[in-house]
Amino acid sequence: MDLWLATYYVGGITAVILCWNLGSIFYVPMLLNLALEVALGAGLANEFDIRQVVAVTGFLHALWVVVLADVFKSWIEGVTVFVLISLAFVLGVYPSIVESTSDWSRSIELATLIIRTWMLVIVGVVTLVYVRSLLRTRGPWTLSELVVNPKRRFLIPLGLWALIIVIPLGPLPKLGTWLEENRFHLAGTTLVWGWVIFELKFFLQSLSTR
């Protein structure tokens, strides 16, 4: 196991422990995500088309974010997210799945496109949550108004994770090539350790009040 994976697993397990008291909507998908990483690393999904695997898992991640975001409280937001997911599937996911190819490198390229398509959906939903919070806040807006709400602070690492996957990193000076090569490692590390950073304070507070 390399350092990236070790860091990811340690962060993921720590995040699950810290988020356990928040409820199953938080920790069950986290556990499933860790299990998926183990399964992929062990080669258990090799018999499946990688495009199908990332299409399903990407949709489940996007659905999880939609549930956490509570977008269907407003029919306008609900319709907006529904249209966003529909466009992502029709324009990005479905064409990549049905394209006939026996070339492994092309399959990986298409799988990456599918992942980035679903990540764009996640970025869009998380951005919608932040903008909604900003518009509904009376008086000066602060980051604390986001992190006090468990669902909204939980979405911050998810949004950063998705953003790192979709933004162009190659053109950045000096570190661009390294960042591009380690894009998915950086995204995964940001996700799990972001949860740890945001939840640690509230976890310690909950212990002190027991």
pLDDT digits (tens, 9 = 90+) for 143-200: 666 778 889 899 999 999 999 999 988 777 778 788 889 999 999 999 999 999 999 9
183, 165 contact by CB (below 8 A) = yes
Among the listed residues 187, 200, 197, the one whose alpha carbon sits nearest the alpha carbon of residue 8: 187
Average pLDDT, the chain: 88
* Confidence at residue 192, expressed as pLDDT on a 0 to 100 scale: 97
Q: Does the CA dihedral 69-72-76-81 come out positive or negative? A: positive
- Please give the single-letter amino acid code of residue 146: L
Evaluate if residue 27 carries a pLDDT over 70.
yes
DSSP assigned state of 97: H
Asked if 27 and 150 touch (Cβ cutoff 8 Å), the reply is no
Weakest mean pLDDT among 1-15, 64-78, 111-125: 64-78
Q: Are 58 and 119 in contact, with CB atoms under 8 Å apart?
A: yes
Residue 10: band (very low, low, confident or very high) from pLDDT cuts 50, 70, 90: very high
Q: How many domains does the chain have?
A: 1
Q: What backbone torsions phi and psi does residue 187 show, to the nearest 5 degrees?
A: -65, -45
Does residue 131 have a pLDDT over 60? yes
Rounded mean pLDDT, 95-118: 90
Band (1; pLDDT cuts 50, 70, 90): low
* pLDDT attached to residue 210: 63
Q: What is the mean pLDDT of residues 108-121?
A: 94
DSSP string, 167-181: S--TTSTTTHHHHHH
Q: Which domain holds residue 63?
A: 3-208
Amino acid symbol at 93? V
